[in-house]
Amino acid sequence: MRRRLKIGAALAAVAVPVAATLVVFGASSADAAVGGSGPYSADYETSAGLPNHTIYRPQSLPSERLPILVWGNGGCSANGLSQQNFLREISSHGFLAIANGAPNGSGSTTSQLLTQSIDWAVAENARQGSKYFGKLDTSKIAVAGFSCGGLEAYAVSNDPRITTTGIFSSGLLNDADDYQLRRLTKPIAYFVGGPSDIAYPNAIDDWGKLPAGLPAFMGNLNVGHGGTYDQVNGGEFGRVAVLYLKWRLKGDTGAGANFVGPDCGLCRSQWTVQQKNLTLDGDTPPSTPPSTPPAGGDPTCSAVYVVQDQWNGGFVASVTVTAGSAALTGWRVTMTLPGGASISSLWNAVGSGTTGTVTAANQSYNGRLGAGQSATFGFQGTGNGSGTTVTCTGS
């Protein structure tokens, strides 16, 4: 049960104070406010192709491709500068960070803006003539947010393009939203302000309800709900966020050592640490073996079925489709559910049928897979999810 449901109003109201003196790219170098402790001085800009957002990037794009962070602000604020010190710090270490809201914007945001950020980054990376053409690593995308922005991050965490989720001083407000936890399939990390943080009870409640086998980290720093975002370079939250993103989006196991194992770097600091299912070299939850296509079937793809969570009367499962030695233009998975089980909701696929033998076909955005590439869809069901068999047919 949620122990502090009244925090909703507080989460919606929190916004970290910001300075009003930064300028966008295009100003003279003497006037531009740059920053960050990383190797790439970073600032922000806007794009006509992505209205109502603020884009943080290295002033000079490095030769290495930039992984992507999409960010929801505290208070769901439409001011993209709300956590500017924190986001410039991240960008200075070789990331593209996109915040909801225009610079000094007003009003509030929704989770749809996070999806728009991902769509825009993927399109710009592929568009000839774009400054970002071939400069972004669109296979490495994190979604994260502070306070109310963390709720926005939860809402889109099941997007198959997302690599990891970061929840900063936030937690679901109602038990009715727990389905968002049950559909998680990618690593997640919580960075919370300790017991004095108004979001602490709900974050702890979420932690206890994560799917079995999901790689997860929680760190608590006893600074309260406001964190350290407005400190120089985002303070301690900025430092730790950079380490986490270097690990998850750049494969830096030295940075990852701060989060994994009983002697992790943060374990020996002022942070209070909890860990679930973490390894340095890729956190792959246990799963059933890939299915073998039946005789006469198409061997161009395989499907792996995993029960993410099972409770009395229901379950959440995911299916990962992987192309074989040739590229696919589409795929279809046939699932045979055990007796008494039925599908109540499905995401990232188009379903047909709810009980017995059912099918799930690709959506428009996840059907094309290169050789060896994968896409994941999921569903929530009633009954017992164990014993489901799956086969895949590609085209």
The 3-state secondary structure of 260-310, one letter per residue: CCCCCCHHHCCCEEEEECCCCCCCCCCCCCCCCCCCCCCCCEEEEEEEEEE
Higher pLDDT, 187 or 395: 187
Say what the pLDDT of residue 284 is.
46
Structure tokens belonging to residue 289: 């073996």
pLDDT band at 277 (very low <50, low <70, confident <90, very high): very high
Higher pLDDT, 323 or 20: 323
Q: What is the mean pLDDT of residues 247-255?
A: 95
Higher pLDDT, 9 or 38: 38
The least confident of 155-164, 178-187, 276-285, 361-370 is: 276-285
What single letter denotes the amino acid at residue 281? D
How far apart CA 158 and CA 375 sit, in angstroms, is 12
pLDDT band at 32 (very low <50, low <70, confident <90, very high): very low
Structure tokens belonging to residue 69: 């962070």
192: CB partners within 8 A, 6+ apart: 168, 169, 199, 200, 203, 218, 219, 220, 221
Average pLDDT of every residue of the chain:
86
In this model, does residue 296 exceed pLDDT 80? no
Structure tokens belonging to residue 89: 């710090």
Domains of the chain: 7-276 (3.40.50.1820), 301-394 (2.60.40.290)
* Geometric angle at alpha carbon 63, from 124 and 84, rounded to 5°: 65
Say what the pLDDT of residue 300 is.
84
The neighbour count for residue 96, using CB atoms within 10 Å, is 27
Among candidate residues 116, 167, 162, the one with its CA nearest the CA of residue 146: 167
In this model, does residue 282 exceed pLDDT 70? no
Q: Kindly report the pTM of this predicted structure.
A: 0.68
In this model, does residue 372 exceed pLDDT 90? no
In this model, does residue 218 exceed pLDDT 90? yes
